[in-house]
Structures are given as structure tokens and as C-alpha cells.
Chains A and B, each alone.
Chain A
Amino acid sequence: MTRYLSFAVIKFRSKMAYRFDYVLGILDTLLAFVVYWSIYKALYAGAGEVDGVTFSMVTTSFLISLGLSAAFHKNEMFLQDKIKQGTIANELLKQVNFKLRMLFEDMGEGAFHVVFNFLPTAVIASFFAELKAPSGAVNVLLCLVSVILGYIVLWEISFIVQSWSFTLFSVWGLITIKNVLVNILAGAYIPMWFMPDWLRNVIRWTPFDAIYFTPVQLYLGELAGIEIAFHFARQICWIIVLGAVGEYFWRSGLKKLVVQGG
């Protein structure tokens, strides 16, 4: 395990070398928050709540989404680059599990963005924006657990799309489409509360719900008892299903590589 952890640590350390990058990263995250906050402030126009959702719930939900997208930062061209350069086969000589190594490297990168982009933004935002405190220590803990599960769900979706590099010339387009779908359907931009019922019902059957919105709901204490268990179970189901699909694509890609040459 320490071997995989060192992939994360070293990625984190190498990211720290780009100082200008993290200054801009803070500005970027802060700007996104201010724009969103201003729009919703104007939309609420002093109204206490809309459809039972208060302004502070919306800003808090967006801030959490920003934190999550910071954590979800990763190099999505990784697999394609390795395949295009033909170094993928050589990678397999390294005595580590390729997928795990990739996951840990991405986690190192995510951790960097959380610490250096999101946390400063969250601190600054807490001075001027109306944020809601978590509804309890247990909720924070549950939220963290679901963040980890949501992270794995999103990572697996990304891996599936990336594994198309074995057959496609470039997966950049697919990745862009995937990111737009995730950001909209997972409720990163528009909270799920404001979506029409029919759309929410559709999303409920996709893995996207498990990525952003479940952690937000847990933080705000919107879920209770059996509902929490149901949400976790759903996240775990998606991890198993998407993991199996990803593994299938990965194996068939490798098979192509060892038979046809890379």
C-alpha cells in the first residue's frame, strides 16, 4: 500500500512546484464561487426560500460542489497518452497494478487542488457568503464517506471513457461530453432541488446522482436513517457495476495490445 501511496504523495509534491498555477487556481475557484453566489443572490432577491430551499443552502451546496470538483481533478488524458506513445506496454513491466497506480496518482492531484485551491477559497468565502454549518459531526463524517464513494464512482466513469483510447484515435471529445454530462446531471452547477421532477427521476437511475448530490444532502442533513443506507448502497452498487465494466474494457484493450502489438 505504501507503494501506491507514494504515487499520490509524489504527484502532490510535484504539483507544488508550480506556484503560479496554484495562485491562479485559487482565483479561478474564488471567481466561480462569486459569480454563482451573485447570480443566486439576485435570483433570491431577499426571498427567504424558494420551494423550501434557502439561499444559504444553495451557496453551501455550490461550495461543496466546488470542493468536490477540486478533489475530482485528474489527468484524463493519461491512458490515451500512454497508449499513443506506446509506453503502455512498458508500464505493465512496473511491478504495480496499473489501475490502482492511476487512481492513487489522481488522488494525489485531487488532494493538491483541495488543499491549495478549495480550502483557501472556502475560508475567503466564509467571510462574505451566507453558508450553512453542517447539521452535525455525524453528518460531516457521513458526508466524507460518501465523498470517497462518489469519487470512486466518478473515477470509474472516467476510466471507462479513457479506456476507449484502445480503439479510438482520440478520446478528448468523449471526455468533454462526459464532463458536461457529469456537471449538469450530477447537480454541480444547478442544485438537484431546482430540476424538474421528471429529470430528477431519470437522474436517480444514473450514477451521476451518487457523485455530487448525495454528499451535499448528507452535509445539510437532508437524509435520515434508512435513506442514508439506501444512498450508500446505491453508491456501492454503482462502484461494483462501473468497476466491472471498466475492468472489461481494460482487459479487452490489453488483449488487443499483446496480440496485435502496441
Chain B
Amino acid sequence: MAFITIAPPAQPGSLDGALAGPAGVSEPTTAPAAGRRHLRFAALRLAPSHALLIALALVSIFPIYWMFVTAFRPSSDALSTNPFPGPLSLENFQYVLKTIPIAGMLANTFGMALTLALSQLLVAILASYGFARWDFLGKKALYLLFVGSWLVPFQVTMIPNYLLVSQLGLLNTVTGVVLPQLCSAFAVMMLRQHLEAFPKDLLDASQMDGRSSWRTLWEVVVPNLRPALAALGIMLFISAWNEYLWPSLIMQKSDALIQVGIRGFLGAEGNNWGAIMAASSLACLPIFLIYIFLQRYVVDAFVRSGLK
């Protein structure tokens, strides 16, 4: 549901008036002059809403803005509280690049997040297709496994998982971080909702054309679900990138991933805020780039996940 596009026509005085409440309803909007007055009135009435949203946006953005401002300050005025950046300096970033292998960390984390997103997507496509297309014995019970896994917090199973990864000899490796997360029950449930809504006629037609269920999946279903898959894939990537608990357990003696690498850097640098902010902005950079270019997909996927 792209709620951004659903927004009803914001014609003050017409449909909107009814929604807006008593003031809008009581005012007749027949004469053009009255309509114009209403327009101005509506704009005034919206002022508190705008003020509220502006305040909310400022609270949301200021800390991030401050991170960048601090990161780009020359170290000579690191503790400056001047809200506007003075002369920009790359000094902090150079220091970070010199001190920790951050490029490698970013590359490793990128590879980890991409692997996870793709594998979770693939596993979820297969499973949700199986669930949505057929009725079979034990379907309800099997689906309950996925729903139920939502109730098993990772912290409850982390010791056995840790032991298993350690028995496989994968402690302090990116593989050890990836392996237990290859399947996302959440992705299966999200995709199943999409697939339940998929037009059955298309599936029937594809079957009549003589396609096997496998070819139907890849030639009919997946191409038609591309936007949903893209949104879900981006969301899985971001979640994998931001995942903290498991990497922090598995990578205790390695700083190959950004989460643990930066954590170590934070501990070592103490109050060197310029450098810490530079490292932090680098840790967020890929997500910001994704957000800037694919904002609608990102918001859409995450908001849908929280929507009943």
C-alpha cells in the first residue's frame, strides 16, 4: 500500500471538508468567493499540523545532521557547538581510514547483507509459492511453524546457535553470521500475503499453456511481483545491515563487519567525537544511499510490515 500516493485529492472545501471536521462541513462552498475564503481558512487551519510535523521532522533529523556536521569539522574545533558547519574538512575521515580498515568492513558487511537478502528472498519465494498455490496435508501446521518462530526471540536460542556455529568452526567468520539467518520467516509471511492476492486466473492460464509449476513461478509469478520483491529485498538488506546481536556474538575476535568494527573503534577513541562521527556516518552511508534513491520502496516495505 503506497500510502503516499493514496492521499485523497487535497481540494480544500470539497471532499476534504467533510473529513476535516465540523468547521469544514458547516461552511457552504458554493460561491467562488466563499471558496477562496475557505481556501485561505483551510491553509490557516493546517498551520498547527504543519508546525507539529516540522517539529517532529526536526527532532528526527537534527541528530543525523549533527553527526555529519561534527564529522566534517576540522579537529581543531571538534567541540564547537556552532550549529552550522564552518570550513569543511575531511580530516576526520582520513583519520578513520588510516586507523581502521573501514573500506574492508563496509565491503564485507555489504556482501553479508546482500547474501542474506538474496537468500531470504529466494527461500521465501519458494515457500510462499508452495503455501499460496496448493492445499496440502499439514499446511496449517507447517505454516504455524513460521508464525510461531516470531515468538522465539533470537536471544532465547542464541546459546545453541552459537554452539552449532562454533562446532562448524565458523566463529569469527562472516559465514557464521550468515548461516543461521538464511531463512526469514517474516519474509515468507510477507510474500505469502502478496501471493494470496495474486490473480488465480494467471496461474490457471499458465498451467493451460503447459507450464510446470516451476516455470510458472519464474515466468509468471516472479515477474509480476517485481515491485513487491524489490521492496522486500531492500528491507531485508537494510535489516541485515543493521543487525547487531548476532554479529556481535559471532565476531568477538574479528572486526570484519561494520557493526563490531565500529564498536571497537568507539571504545578505543573515547572522546574523539569527530572521528567517531565520521566512522558512524560511513556506517550509515549505504543505507542512506538506498534511502535517497529508493525511498518509496523502503518506506513502503517497512510500513507494510507494521500494518495489520
Judge: A and B partners, yes or no.
no
